[in-house]
């Protein structure tokens, strides 16, 4: 590596920061018990005198960074409990606080709304105009073409090509990345819908969502679409019992689920692949095989004892089926890439043989090839009679995979669109409150 034509030798992250290099990581890594401002300036807090941290100056500088990004976050708010989108905004603010000459952005927009993405891009363009270099890593083609001048493609750890953005199109990029056509990214199989397996009636949580009713049949993939903050994740968390709700009811296979009891939902055949795989889907310190069998520990036990052989055989079955790329199943799950971590979360839940599979942002932050594998698996499960409820912020994914699209706006279900009638315009009109309920 060279910087300004001179060899660049880095002994660690501190050397990179000293050289003017800042990184926005794909997965937020915040200290949950510290405030937002403390996370931004960790290890380099402004001082008053020689020893005392200047809390007022730190909060003021954090507020200025958020104003620059056009977002409203309280610098004193604890990081614990922040949404994925807000965690990502804190990470972006942290990187900007370094005044870096080189900014590396690894999937920074995966959890952001369209408005937040535009504000971030305005900041990035400003940095570029003032002489900074930006390396933008993303699987969202529209953003790559909107922001970048040159595009480099890598596959399996190897360089494939580098070209000017104006000389490329999406189809060419996809072929270079995964060796297949765009149409193969959404391998949707035609299935016949069966009986209603998930029936949600008048679900309400005061201040979060109101009067949400829908049904999902066996063999269907139903997408829950809408802008970030519309209440989609909160609804599916309430369905699974993670979050409580104030009124309404949920039935699985005709049987009413008790509220606030995930164990009852699991016993009824419901599985939830959460949006935040690191915080809610995996135990990062545990092995791959242990994570893949967390939901089956009792069924794999004999007289209350879990045998390593039974655990390993079960893990091998599902990690092979999902084509998890790993060194050893005994390795910590934290050693895997984001895409392979997502496959382990899927393996954990698919091994329970669910009747209803809820997937919240199933392909967030994973590569195009893995996306196609996840889509193929979802379609295969629907073909086997599973009811699939998918929360997604990616319109191509929604339009490519869903039999029906349910659109939420500000906590209410505002539209239901059949597959043949769904297009980007109709979904976005409903998501922004402009479309009539059908």
- Please check whether residue 176 lies inside any domain of the structure: no
Beta bridge partners of 154: 159
In this prediction, residue 200 carries a pLDDT of 96
Where a domain ends, among 137, 169, 201? 137
Which has more confidence, 46 or 26?
Answer: 46
- Please write the tens of the pLDDT for every residue from 138-174: 877 888 999 999 999 987 678 999 999 999 988 888 7
pLDDT above 70 covers a percentage of the chain that reads 95
> Within a domain: residue 219?
yes
pLDDT of residue 307: 63
Q: How many domains does the chain have?
A: 2
Write down which residue in 100, 117, 137 finishes a domain: 137
Question: Does residue 211 share a domain with residue 113?
Answer: no
* Residue 68 covered by a domain: yes
Look at residue 147 and tell me if it is in a domain: no
**With 70 as the cut, is the pLDDT of residue 438 above it?**
no
Are 285 and 401 in a shared domain? yes
Q: Give the sign of the dihedral formed by CA 345, CA 347, CA 353, CA 356.
A: positive
pLDDT tens digits, 55-71: 999 999 999 999 888 88
Going by C-alpha positions, the residue among 434, 382, 394 that lies closest to residue 410 is 434
How would you classify the pairing of strands 412-418 and 404-409? antiparallel
Q: Are residues 43 and 108 in the same domain?
A: yes
- Confidence band, pLDDT 50/70/90 cuts, at residue 268: very high
Picking from 238, 261, 276, 248, the residue whose alpha carbon sits closest to that of residue 362 is 276
pLDDT-based confidence at residue 267 (cuts at 50, 70, 90): very high
State residue 123's pLDDT score.
82
* The token pair that represents 99 in the structure block: 């005044």
CATH number of the domain within which 56 lies: 3.40.50.300
Q: Identify whether residues 190 and 119 lie together within a single domain.
A: no
Tell me the C-alpha distance between 46 and 171, whole Å. 49
d(CA 40, CA 63): 11
Question: Last residue of a domain, which of 102, 137, 172?
Answer: 137
Residue positions counted in the chain: 438
DSSP-assigned states of every residue in 308-377: HHHHHHHHHHHHHHTT---S-TTSBGGGS-HHHHHHHHHHHHHTT--SEEEEESTTTT--HHHHHHHHHH
For the stretch 377-409, pLDDT in tens is 899 999 999 999 999 988 888 988 999 999 999
What average pLDDT does this structure show over 268-281?
A: 89
Strands 158-164 and 150-155: antiparallel
Name residue 391's beta-bridge partners. 224, 360
Count Cβ atoms below 10 Å from residue 14 Cβ, excluding itself: 10
Q: What is the pLDDT of residue 233?
A: 92
Percent of the chain with pLDDT over 90: 39
Within this chain, do residues 214 and 108 fall inside the same structural domain, yes or no?
no
pLDDT at position 183: 58
Q: Is residue 159 part of a domain?
A: no
pLDDT, residue 29, reads: 83
pLDDT for 181 beyond 60: no
Residues 339 and 211 in one domain: yes
Question: What is the rounded CA–CA span in Å between residue 299 and residue 270?
Answer: 17
Q: Is residue 165 part of a domain?
A: no
Give, for 89, the enclosing helix (H) or strand (E).
helix 84-96
Instruction: Give the structural domain span for 45.
Output: 2-137
């Amino acid at each position: 590596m060279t910087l300004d034509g001179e060899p660049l030798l880095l002994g660690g992250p501190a050397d990179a920061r000293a050289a003017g290099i800042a990184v926005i990581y794909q997965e937020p890594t915040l200290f949950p018990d510290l405030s937002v401002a403390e996370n931004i300036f960790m290890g380099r807090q402004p001082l008053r005198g020689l020893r005392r941290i200047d809390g007022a100056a730190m909060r003021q500088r954090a507020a200025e960074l958020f104003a620059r990004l056009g977002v409203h976050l309280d610098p004193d708010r604890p990081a614990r409990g922040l949404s994925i989108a807000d965690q990502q905004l804190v990470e972006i603010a942290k990187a900007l606080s370094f005044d870096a000459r080189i900014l590396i952005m690894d999937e920074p927009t995966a959890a952001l709304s369209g408005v937040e993405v535009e504000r971030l891009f305005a900041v990035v363009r400003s940095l570029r105009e003032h002489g900074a270099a930006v390396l933008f890593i993303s699987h969202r083609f529209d953003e790559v073409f909107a922001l970048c001048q040159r595009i480099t493609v890598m596959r399996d750890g190897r360089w494939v090509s580098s070209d000017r953005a104006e000389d490329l199109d999406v189809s060419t990029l996809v072929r270079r990345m995964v060796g297949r056509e765009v149409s193969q990214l959404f391998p949707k199989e035609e299935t016949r819908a069966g009986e209603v397996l998930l029936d949600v009636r008048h679900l309400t949580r005061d201040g979060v969502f109101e009067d949400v009713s829908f049904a999902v049949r066996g063999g269907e993939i139903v997408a829950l679409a809408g802008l970030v903050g519309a209440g989609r994740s909160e609804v599916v968390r309430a369905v699974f019992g993670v979050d409580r709700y104030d009124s309404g009811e949920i039935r699985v296979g005709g049987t009413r689920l008790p509220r606030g009891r995930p164990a009852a939902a699991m016993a009824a055949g419901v599985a939830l692949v959460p949006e935040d795989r690191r915080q809610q889907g995996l135990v990062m310190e545990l092995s791959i095989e242990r994570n893949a069998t967390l939901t089956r520990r009792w069924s794999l036990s004999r007289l209350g004892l879990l045998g390593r052989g039974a655990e390993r055989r079960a893990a091998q079955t599902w990690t092979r089926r999902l084509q998890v790329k790993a060194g050893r199943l005994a390795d910590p799950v934290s050693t895997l890439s984001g895409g392979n971590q997502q496959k382990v979360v899927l393996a954990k839940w698919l091994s329970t043989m669910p009747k209803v599979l809820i997937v919240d942002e199933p392909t967030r932050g994973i590569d195009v090839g893995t996306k196609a594998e996840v889509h193929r698996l979802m379609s295969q499960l629907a073909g086997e009679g599973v009811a699939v409820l998918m929360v997604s912020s990616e319109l191509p994914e929604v339009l490519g995979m869903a039999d029906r699209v349910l659109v939420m706006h500000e906590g209410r279900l505002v539209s239901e669109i059949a597959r043949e009638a769904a297009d980007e315009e109709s979904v976005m009109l409903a998501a922004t409150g402009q479309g009539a309920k059908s």
